[in-house]
Amino acid sequence: MEDPLPPKIVSEIGDERRRQLEKWGRQDHEPAQWLAILASELGELAQALVEVELRGDDAWRPYYRNGLVQLAAVAVAAAESADRASRS
């Protein structure tokens, strides 16, 4: 059975979370704000996918992969924030 959380990807998400923390500090938003942030990240992924798949522009392929890691890291940040809110 494949590892559902490959260490390389988990490590990349952790690295991205650390970059986010360095850049913005701890973020505690309301759920609607987190959803908007996640939607923005998803929109960037959609743009990269359009460029790669529909226009054949392979230069966008790394943006798609990196965007997936960023989206996952933002989702982790939202979960962290939700956990902090539930403890208050």
Residue 4 included in any domain: no
Residue 80 included in any domain: yes
Mean pLDDT of the chain: 92
Residue 3 included in any domain: no
- Segment 33-62, tens digit of pLDDT: 999 999 999 998 898 888 888 888 788 778
Domain limits for position 54: 29-87
Provide the 8-state DSSP code for 55: T
Find the Cα–Cα–Cα–Cα dihedral 8, 14, 15, 21, rounded to 10°: 170
Residue 59 included in any domain: yes
User: Whose CA is closest to 67, among 38, 30, 88?
Assistant: 38
pTM for the structure as a whole: 0.87
- Segment 72-85, tens digit of pLDDT: 999 999 999 999 99
